[in-house]
Amino acid sequence: MNIMYEPIGIIHTGMKEREGTPIQSTFGSEHRGRVELYEQYVEGLCDLDGFSHAYLLFHFHKSSGFSLKVRPFLDETERGVFATRAPRRPNPIGLSIVTILGIEGNTVNFSGVDILDGTPLLDIKPYIGDFDTRGDIRTGWAEPAIKNNQRRHADDRFSE
């Protein structure tokens, strides 16, 4: 089976290099970005302005190849890639929750940037707290790493 996706737009940010980019959108709240949706998809933005947050699904365009074991940014121990949010994945698909600041024409302005400039956008989905928030969660290896680690920005560990 061959699955192919076409980008629906481009994500523009001030992040030009992986190194120094926030490792999650919650750590990039002071950074701004914008989605430039391709014209044929603009009608799909109707009613998105009623939401405060959205998921951006995108292609890790600077990532090549993958590793099934990686050292995630929050840890020095090798972990299974599916237990991490590392960019070197079999299908290099990224996911960020951003804060919608406004929509003008084909442009969605947002904050919460953890995405490199020029990243191809695959989809936008509204964040709905009643659907997306879960109680009684476990965060595995990441729990102590989050509590004890002050690393909030990417280093060079996933560079070519």
Within a domain: 14 = yes
Closest by CA to 113, choosing from 44, 33, 50, is: 33
In 10 A of CB 58, how many CB atoms?
A: 24
Contact between residue 15 and residue 21 where contact means Cβ atoms under 8 Å apart? yes
The pLDDT confidence band at residue 113, using thresholds 50, 70 and 90, is confident
Q: What is the per-residue pLDDT for 85?
A: 77
For 43-88, the pLDDT digits (tens) are 999 999 999 999 999 998 877 889 899 887 777 889 899 998 788 8
Predicted TM-score (pTM) of this structure: 0.80
Within a domain: 4 = no
For 78-89, the pLDDT digits (tens) are 989 999 878 888
**Element (DSSP H or E) covering residue 103:** strand 93-104
CATH at residue 25: 2.40.30.70
Higher pLDDT, 132 or 83: 83
Supply the range of the domain harboring residue 23: 9-128+136-148
Within a domain: 155 = no
| Overall number of domains in the chain | 1
